[in-house]
Amino acid sequence: MPELRRDPVVGRWVIISTERGRRPSDFGRPQASREPGFCPFCPGHEEKTPPEVFAVREKDSRPNGPGWMVRVVSNKFPALEIEGELNRRGEGIYDKMNGVGAHEVVIESPDHDRELSDHTVEQISLVLTAYRARMIDLARDKRFRYIQVFKNHGEAAGASLEHSHTQIVATPIVPRRILEELKGCQQHFAMKERCIFCDIIDQELSIGKRVVVENKDYLAIQPFAARFPFETWILPKAHQGAFEQAFQGNFYSLARILKETLMRINLTLSGPPYNFVVHTSPCNENNGPSPYHWHLEIMPKLTRVAGFEWGTGFYINPTPPEDAAAYLRDTQVPAESLSMPRVGM
Amino acid sequence: MPELRRDPVVGRWVIISTERGRRPSDFGRPQASREPGFCPFCPGHEEKTPPEVFAVREKDSRPNGPGWMVRVVSNKFPALEIEGELNRRGEGIYDKMNGVGAHEVVIESPDHDRELSDHTVEQISLVLTAYRARMIDLARDKRFRYIQVFKNHGEAAGASLEHSHTQIVATPIVPRRILEELKGCQQHFAMKERCIFCDIIDQELSIGKRVVVENKDYLAIQPFAARFPFETWILPKAHQGAFEQAFQGNFYSLARILKETLMRINLTLSGPPYNFVVHTSPCNENNGPSPYHWHLEIMPKLTRVAGFEWGTGFYINPTPPEDAAAYLRDTQVPAESLSMPRVGM
């Protein structure tokens, strides 16, 4: 069972893998034993993954067989384990608990060679629908406080399998980063009785210079204090605390702006590795009005995070967000790629 | 002039380079125009760097000529600029100020091919003396609130020049990471009237399982909640708020434990890239008793930080600190490398 440990000075939790602990000789080598050329996420290899927990399937196709359009399975090498109690305990001045949680993989399509932005808007909608379904289901487990959806694209961004996928981790504590954002939202609301993200959206729309693309429901911007070059946030224009609330599960508009934003990043930067993360409300705050405003943060990996950043938490961004937004806006995107969807199965 | 911008939600400051802004085509290529095979840090090339601000030199040698043992110069491509006022100002809901600060480079020895741990203990003491001298001098500038000393070793850790060096950045605000640690120290002191780092040191010494090496004055441990495999902290055993207070400038004991710790890391992990950072008290808190306890954090780069970590601030460490400490302790270090110093000039 992995262990969750708390740093006694700053309160940061870490996950320590106690069972599959890596030895010095394990680093710098490809992880786990994989047959070269074999992809466990491709259709026909369904038995190579743990059983599916969600899938969008053709009629009459069977669970854990081919015929799926999107498939969600448990991670074969989970960072947290689904079975067990938290068992919070001390060790002298230190605090720890069992590494209980869920770790799932969203296989975004049966197609091994297409990345997320290569798909039709309709297919991307199905992927978002899978995120939502798993978030709602996992949040029912009272042990979990937060559901983190994130994507590592490209080896430099931490992806260990080529076939395009997203990961979902349910954690038994609300992560620091979310607590910090929540606190910022609450402080702003206490002062102004307004949502700070709504205020950001208003200002960005009125200035325009950091806007990458917008549609009726969503906005993609370079944030004012971007940590990374070409860091891009996608936000719903209306105030919504949780991702699950997004237009009652109709993700067409979000899929469209996500596809266009990723295409612009790929075309402008020659298909860089990137991470994206969904930031949403903690599990127990999904009901009623939320001080939070969910959004998606895309971070292309163009620079290295080095000693200065690790030491200070301060980032050096070599590309002003205004310039990055202009580069992304000015890139030509083939119009037909964003036209009416055809499910390309 | 670079700009410091504050994230309005979480209060994180970033440095935006407005003048040498990098374009999409600049990423993925080696930075700046450098003559291949030419090293601006080697003796005889002193005119290729900005003038030195500190040096340990042979008698009768002249500033900015050969004959130095350690040399500190301004960074030719500084992240922050030394001239100017802060000029704090707003932009709607956003806050920014001029990117005023200092950015210096400590050239650790004249020898191009030796990394820090290859040097004699005496030579490493000179490097530490240079850190201290610059910290004291920079802290006199009332615009600066924090002096960050950090080292990037190896390309994967962000080093862009081979010749072993350390960087020093003076910032006009206290970085987040330091504020968080200070807050943790203050809270612990308010509850217990003791320093939390002193409590950590007591517990680690009595348990022993996370101790890598110790001497009379210092201790090297794997922290209980290590973010990274083989993350190693070196702490003074006595309570000391600021690095500059370290034994009235006699760094022999620190140089010795730093050399041995880096040697153990290099031998155990085949010379990995690493970052280290000195965490010390902010500039205006160096006088009188400090709630802080300075220390040095070494982070070998063995794993990639990916979407989960960026999204949550939560880290997954695949090597339990107890195992890492045992690997590092069990590695044989040639005794003569730590014996009485000879200045190897």
**Do the chains contact at A315 and B177, CB–CB below 8 Å?**
no
What is the chain B residue with the closest CA to A331?
A: B24
Q: Which of B183, B203, B277 sits opposite A92 (nearest CB)?
A: B203
Question: Which of residues 100 through 139 in chain B touch A, CB cutoff 8 A?
Answer: none
The CATH H-level (homologous superfamily) assignment of domain A35-76+101-338 is HIT-like (3.30.428.10)
- Chain A interface includes B207 (CB < 8 A): yes
| ipTM here | 0.91
Series of mean pLDDT values for 10-residue runs along chain A (345 residues): 95 86 78 71 96 96 96 94 93 95 97 95 96 96 95 91 96 94 95 96 97 96 97 96 81 95 97 96 74 96 90 92 97 81 45
Q: Which residues contact B320 (CB under 8 A, 6 or more apart)?
A: A3, A16, A17, A18, A21
Q: Which residue among A3, A184, A276 places its CB closest to the CB of B9?
A: A184
Q: Identify the weakest region by mean pLDDT among A59-68, A228-237, B29-38, B58-67.
A: B29-38
pLDDT at B32 over 70: no
Query: Which pLDDT score, from 0 to 100, does residue A345 have?
Result: 38
In this prediction, residue A26 carries a pLDDT of: 85
For residues B141 and B52, what is the distance between their CA atoms, to the nearest angstrom?
A: 18
Count CB-CB contacts under 10 A for residue A334: 9
In this prediction, residue A249 carries a pLDDT of 65
User: What is the full DSSP assignment across B166-217?
Assistant: EEEEEESS--HHHHHHHHHHHHHHHHHSS-HHHHHHHHHHHH-TTEEEE-SS
pLDDT at residue B287 greater than cutoff 50: yes
Best B105, B179, B196, B304 residue to mutate vs chain A (most A CBs within 10 Å): B304
Q: How far apart are CA B260 and CA B280, in angstroms?
A: 22
Q: Domain segments of chain B: what residues? A: 36-76+101-338
Residue showing tokens 């990055």? A324
**What is the pLDDT averaged over residues B254-271?**
96
Of B15, B23, B327, the CB nearest to A24: B327
Query: Is A229 an interface residue toward B (CB < 8 Å)?
Result: yes
Chain A CB contacts of B311 under 8 Å are 148, 150, 175, 177, 275, 277-279, 297
- More confident site: B34 or B142: B142
Q: What is the per-residue pLDDT for B343? A: 45
Report the pLDDT averaged over residues B163-181.
Answer: 95
Q: Is B202 left (phi over 0), alpha (psi -120 to 50) or beta?
A: alpha
Given the residues B119, B153, B163, B165, the one annotated as active site? B165
Nearest to B181 among A10, A167, A184 (CB): A10
Does B262 score more than 80 pLDDT?
yes
- Residue B220 sits at φ, ψ, to 5 deg, of -115, 125
- Best A316, A322, A331 member to test B by mutation, with max B CBs in 10 Å, is A316
What residues in B contact A200, CB-CB < 8 Å? 8-9, 93
pLDDT value of residue B338: 78
> Quick one: average pLDDT of B191-215?
97
Q: pLDDT (tens digit, 9 = 90+) per residue, B77-115?
A: 899 999 999 999 999 999 999 999 999 999 999 999 999
A308 chain-B contacts, CB cut-off 8 A: 79, 148, 150, 167, 169, 277
Kindly give the residue spans of alpha helices, DSSP state H, lying in A45-193: 121-139, 176-192
- Its CATH class, for the domain covering B36-76+101-338, is alpha beta
Whether this prediction's pTM lies above 0.90 is answered by yes
Asked if residue B295 lies in contact with residue B233, where contact means CB atoms within 8 angstroms, the answer is yes
Provide the pLDDT for residue B245.
Answer: 84
pLDDT given for residue A30 in this prediction = 54
Contact across the interface for A15 and B315, Cβ inside 8 Å: yes
Residue in B closest to A18 by C-alpha:
B320
- Among A3, A6, A7, the strongest candidate for a mutation testing the B interface, having the largest count of B CBs within 10 A, is A7
Residues 6+ apart with CB under 8 A from A149: A131, A135, A166, A167, A168, A243, A277, A278, A280
Interface of B with A in 156-195 (CB under 8 A): 156-159, 167, 169, 171, 175-178, 180-181, 183-185, 188
